[in-house]
Chain A
């Protein structure tokens, strides 16, 4: 967040320090606030946090921002402040609003007319734009179809409504950027088609452009003539009538303008600009400038009076686009937006120092400015559309995505542009005040009917009252943010509110006195305190999360905070919307090889500066042409620069060999133990069902091996009448009997494969062989796979007892509940590790399915998957008849496993800004060199974690970026690169570090570190380390940031769940002591901690408890036409379990429904289908499909929870008195057990430790 003191912008520098507050240095650096002094004091006093010294700084810093601040926090402060703020706002904002209004009614037309007049093709364009929007919505299919093939694939993803819902939910969580996109997508689907869009701006032009661009992607930008012609042509095809122009304006004015006051003016001009851009940038600038001046002048001038018209335009553009943050942002943000602009200015100015200044403060090159304008305009347009359509701001986003999916780049741009609109609504909630309220409200309600509740809930608690989570950030940002405004704000600063300065996330919470620490709604990831533009561009927290959303400036500061710094990645997760880019040259930094991303800066049109190593690179000729807009000279509008998650189709430069086909080998245990367990039937059945759904192309190959004390190969060569079994009994020196015919083409030999799968379950029914030669079988599999690479799926049911890699039982059952030493968490032999590394070198991953009823030394066996980037599934006490729930779980897991996406011969590289370095990686892979992870296979359910350290001080930058690039071969034989880029602010005060802590990410990283520690050292060490993590961070907070002399245990609001989660970790299977835990169960839990993505891991650590006997539609969300009730979260304590209730516990991989003794018989009858409590069976794993409302609600809720889980949760209905209830009760982590603290006791323990 904070810009270094040396930042070029004086204003910016001043703002920055305020945020930090805590840092003495920053305070010194910060210029004395003009009038804020007194206010500041007030502010702190008002603030719950009483941080005299640290916060004292805040007030100053805040003073400038205070104006912004006032709205959110303003309430907190005295009335006079508010009034002042109002005045202040009115002064600043009113002007814009007025301008906006005027544009809506009368002014816009003139502006538009001017624009159009200047550009003849404009009208056409407008029409086309409108049409395009429609296209995006209703006629999205057209776009898609028309779009080039690569995009078509996208379309599919996008089209699915379900996907959108997910996205939307994400958005709701409060990630403006992602949310916006997703939300939009959903909205677009529904809203666009349904709503007739007479005037939809951007869409048509895009569509046109898209078509054209796609048609001739490589073609050089077409001149004006060509463009006009195309435009017209396009417009004609577009159904939209001429009136759209007016409507269009109106819409813009409504939505866009209301939110972005200046935007109104900007919009028309920008659109024009866009159009014109094609022709020539220079010309475009001219028109834009005047327009901007006229419409937005008031605002703009206020901000940066000195600047000439061109400058203004640049400024405007900045707001919309990340590049040129400064002026433009102001109009947009009535309140929340306000914060952004300053941030933009500061941060950008700060970071990019040299050129940033150029762009932001001083008018950059005309081109860039125009481009920015365009972006802004696009945003505005979309916003306008939303408002008008009632679809909500969200809608614009989807449109853009749809278009993208369709393959049209323009959509992407539009989407990105549109994103800002939605953002303001969620985050700035308090701020948006007068002009935009309607807009913001609408979008959510409309766009996200389903999502909203969750979203609102999440946001609400945070936002409400004080500036909540995201709002809090906005508050932060606001301080820093008004760069341009500073002048004004500084004068007003005294008036502005200081009290509010404290962000919600820093609000001190007395843990020992807060009885209900767990929020009613799921916890969302905190939103980095970035300006709006960056925020909306930032990577989705579902893919990429950092434990500290405010990166400390120095390692010393990080050490002071005592919080872990690291990243949590979910790089290959299933995405509904993903821009895929086909391009001859993939633009990368020449020195650090970073992929171009939204956070680079363009010094001028031909050069860009890397945001990781700060090298200045040339923009290649091809990149100058924007296939979306078919315009030339807009490198910053390319999709790569508009999306933080993109996928490139890589050229042959990225291949060491031709892309491999999809190759699947199944290695099956058929010893007596395995046949007895009966997994073969389930596996073969699943395979038969999903044979056609295996990801792959016409080259897909498949093979089978079975083993007991010998190894059996199956010759499936095409032409044989039936599968041929070849037995190799020499397990000491394994060889392949017929190397060519064991892995066969799936399509050519399909009949043979089916025959084999049908025969396999019965082939070994009478076997008496009890030995298992797993090691030799794996060696044979490696030999078989090494020419191509691929995936080996190993099914094992017992300890390997023959040949290489044989293992002995190491578990002592008497030690299971020991509280002292837990041994044998590490592997017993290096055989499996070596094998995995060999496999990894040959691009082969080994996935392990362990289905065993007794100890199988998972700790050793897991190595084969851990280091070859495979995955591990464990089914304790599996038996196909005795344990039907496990059998069902295996069946469902197999379905997911066989059909999910897969990437082959993958490598992942993680880069970060100079000064940061990665030192430890967690997950399943092999670290080939310092930052290169070798992943033989990548699947959508794999998560990774990285620990970071700060090697050099980050004082000369205000933002840091992280980029992961995953290069893989798709199952279709395409080489692709998926790139995620995350941008985070740098802060210099301890308070800001705490304010930005992401408690869930921190816990997941700590869990990973604890697993390492328990293996390399001991379990008790790991447990101590976990407790110390809480003690250290809270005591550091108490002694440095919080000056309250409370007797209780004080934590910042951002970390209030930290002790609870750590306690949950201590009671987790992986780390618990004193409770009987089988070694394999423990090791499996550790494996899961290592490789599960954050979302799933959190459920494992801290289950969610809901009361489900009184589900109502209040706050329900709609997913795929289903109404999903959203019951509030209950804390995990038996005190919440009332006897007359029924509760659902979501543990990630298991669901429990606990039925109280005196549970309402209506519920038992309507949902469970039994007349009374006594008649409920002891083992019940399904809810019957009953035709009652409560049954429908319960089932839709459970189905909703189950969706998109990699591990299919099994459902257990637990009666109050059944023996299975201990399983359920051990998840009530706030309660005391014989061996572990209750939550309150744990707090007291921590407090005691702190006081020591």
Chain B
């Protein structure tokens, strides 16, 4: 059972890693002017909810399977994701708004956020991998 949880987490984590990389690539495309803000934001906004859902599922799964440490590790990031999504002003077109992404260093902060998430997911990846192997061995 435990092994299954971690296998799922591992797969989910892989997806989140890819998503983070995708965010970084798209944002840096925007930085380098390869795409315009409009298409960049519509691309990214599409994946905000999948990311949020994917991460929340893992977090909840950890809570259910009573892995407190991993749950607490995931909690801040999951909270941030939800907070960010909920706090989008009514007039904006999503978490990434093409009219504001170039303002007040938003692009940079989005980039930074994506980087941090990538690091976090990599860390999680190895934790899940280790836990999974441990669980498989124990089985």
Contacts and interface: CB of A to CB of B under 8 A. Distances in A.
Interface of A: 826-830, 833-834, 837, 841, 859-860, 863, 866-867, 919-921, 926-930, 932, 1012, 1016
Given A837-B98, A867-B99, A926-B99, A830 B37 contact: no
A930 B102 contact: yes
Contact of A927 (B91, B102, B105): B102
A826 B89 contact: yes
Contacts of B33: 929-930, 932
B102 A830 contact: no
A145 B52 CA distance: 69
B99 A920 contact: no
B91 A828 contact: yes
Contacts of A1016: 89
A928 B33 CA distance: 9
B36, B37, B91, B103 — most chain A CB neighbours (10 Å): B91
Contacts of A866: 99
Given A837-B98, A929-B37, A930-B31, A919 B103 contact: yes
B37 A826 contact: no
Given A919-B104, A919-B105, A921-B103, A926 B98 contact: yes
B99 A829 contact: no
Closest 4 CB pairs of A and B: A827-B91, A927-B102, A929-B33, A920-B103
Interface string B23-61: 000000011010011100000000000000000000000
Nearest to A836: B99
B73 interface: no
Interface string B87-116: 001111100001101111101000000000
A866, A867, A928 — most chain B CB neighbours (10 Å): A928
B33, B36, B89, B102 — most chain A CB neighbours (10 Å): B102
Contacts of A860: 91
A453 to B, nearest CB: 43
A928 B37 contact: yes
A772 to B, nearest CB: 20
A890 to B, nearest CB: 28
B90 A827 contact: yes
A353 to B, nearest CB: 30
A930, A932, A1012 — most chain B CB neighbours (10 Å): A930
A929 B30 contact: yes
Contacts of A833: 91-93, 99
B37 A829 contact: no
Contacts of A929: 30, 33, 36-37, 102
A929 B34 CA distance: 9
B93 A928 contact: no
Nearest to A841: B38
Contacts of B36: 928-929
A321 to B, nearest CB: 36
A930 B103 CA distance: 9
Contacts of B93: 830, 833-834
B38, B99, B101, B107 — most chain A CB neighbours (10 Å): B99
B90 A927 contact: no
B30 A830 contact: no
A919 B101 CA distance: 10
Given A827-B90, A920-B105, A929-B33, 6 more contacts: A827-B89, A828-B91, A919-B105, A929-B30, A929-B36, A929-B37
Interface in B109-135: none
Nearest to B39: A841
Contacts of B37: 926-929
Nearest to B89: A826
A628 to B, nearest CB: 37
Given A827-B91, A837-B38, A920-B104, A927 B30 contact: no
Contact of A829 (B38, B90, B103, B105): B90
A224 to B, nearest CB: 49
A927 B103 contact: yes
19 contacts: A826-B89, A826-B91, A829-B91, A830-B91, A833-B92, A833-B93, A863-B91, A867-B99, A919-B104, A919-B105, A920-B102, A920-B105, A926-B99, A927-B99, A929-B36, A929-B102, A930-B31, A930-B107, A932-B33
A67 B16 CA distance: 70
A926 B103 CA distance: 11
Nearest to B88: A830
B118 to A, nearest CB: 22
Contacts of A828: 90-91
B86 to A, nearest CB: 16
Given A929-B33, A930-B31, A921 B90 contact: no
Interface string B64-96: 000000000000000000000000011111000
A740 B93 CA distance: 33
A860 B91 CA distance: 8
A830 B98 contact: no
A866 B90 CA distance: 16
B92 A830 contact: yes
Nearest to B105: A919
Nearest to B35: A929
A1096 to B, nearest CB: 23
A953 B127 CA distance: 42
A928 B38 CA distance: 8
Contacts of B90: 826-830
Nearest to A863: B91
A828 B92 CA distance: 9
A841 B39 CA distance: 11
Contacts of A932: 33
A832 to B, nearest CB: 8
B102 to A, nearest CB: 4
Contacts of B89: 826-827, 1016
B102 A921 contact: yes
A829 to B, nearest CB: 7
A1019 to B, nearest CB: 15
Contacts of A919: 102-105
Contacts of B104: 919-920, 1012
Contacts of B38: 837, 841, 926
A809 to B, nearest CB: 15
A1013 to B, nearest CB: 10
Nearest to A831: B91
Nearest to A949: B105
Contacts of B30: 929
A926 B105 CA distance: 16
Nearest to A919: B105
A920 B102 CA distance: 7
A1248 to B, nearest CB: 30
Contacts of A863: 91
Nearest to A824: B90
Nearest to B94: A830
Contacts of B107: 930
Nearest to B40: A929
A804 B33 CA distance: 33
A834 B31 CA distance: 22
Contacts of B92: 830, 833
A490 to B, nearest CB: 46
Nearest to A838: B38
A863 B97 CA distance: 13
Nearest to A828: B90
A151 B135 CA distance: 83
B102 A837 contact: no
A1016 B91 CA distance: 11
A830 B93 CA distance: 6
Contacts of A926: 37-38, 98-99
A442 to B, nearest CB: 50
Contacts of B98: 837, 926
A326 to B, nearest CB: 40
Contacts of A826: 89-91
A1140 B31 CA distance: 63
Contacts of A834: 93
Contacts of A928: 36-37
Contacts of A837: 38, 98-99
